[in-house]
Amino acid sequence: MALTLAEASKLSNDILLRGVVETVIKDSPVLQQMPFIEVMGNSLTYNRENALPDIDFYDVGDDWNESTPTFEQKTANLKIIGGDADVDNFLRATRSNVQDLEAAIIEMKAKALRHKFEEIFIYGDSETNTKQFDGIRKLIDTETESNRVIAVSASGGALSLDDLDELIDAVKGDKPDMLLMSRRSRRKINSLVRGNGSMLATDRDKWGNFIQLWDSIPIGVNDWILDTHIVADGVETATTGGDCSAIYAIQFGEGALCGLSSPGFLQVEPIGQLENKDASRTRVKWYCSMALFSSVKAAALIGVQD
């Protein structure tokens, strides 16, 4: 069964761990919504659906044709993300009346972990860096032509609201759970909507923050989506050196895009006093990855220029 990080944290009695989880997810639209499956072992092998079997009509006495769905076998390996937080014993002793220094430093480490996860969520590539898991850009494969990759134009162009509708329609089954984009792309959508004499619908997330919606789909902002992609012949050829960005439509869940984690999810591990300096260490770590169980549950709109 898949759980969001917020729900998983409720199963723990560790107050420090709960604080770290809250720090990690409260400003991340992806980690607020994406569920995670606990993986026993260091990897998950799954069959990704490519095409449904054929169905036809028959007369009495006709020979029936056999047809089976086609699958592509994929393997997602858990990767290690984390870091150590050292607290100087002298500072903790002399400043404890001002603030809980250890909690503040661990919170900063948790924020850094979230930033790195959100970056790899987009640009992770296990072929380029074997320590990373594959991000959504690699899982969709924006460097190859397909019906999951919609280009504004062959080499990039101005965004239109029709392009957004086409992106949403590229995700099959239910509607996407999120449209993920850069701040520049969100500004452009706001400008287009205002130009039509209206405003984007708004709502509040579970933390009380206002979120915008297009066609009832939440708009999520990821500060690590670059506005410097290069698009040529309708595909992305590089992520730097150009002036294009991308918008991702994502459906979350066990049959769509889902996170993978070792049992226990995030871990906060006290290492204790250090031998080489007067400080104590706490390790924040996570064994995690992602899997796209169906290729039609995520799509990308590429070539979005300012």
Q: State residue 136's pLDDT score.
A: 97
Q: What are 141-200's pLDDT values in tens digits?
A: 999 999 999 999 999 999 999 999 999 999 998 899 999 999 999 999 999 999 988 888
Q: State residue 298's pLDDT score.
A: 96
Domains of the chain: 5-49+73-133+256-292 (3.30.2400.20), 140-253+296-305 (3.30.1930.10)
* Selection from 19-23, 106-110, 300-304 with the highest mean pLDDT: 300-304
247 has pLDDT over 80 = yes
Q: The whole model's pTM is what?
A: 0.90
290 has pLDDT over 70 = yes
Q: What are 41-99's pLDDT values in tens digits?
A: 899 998 887 777 889 999 999 999 888 887 888 899 999 999 999 988 888 888 766 56
Helix 101-123, helix 15-25: angle, nearest 10 = 40
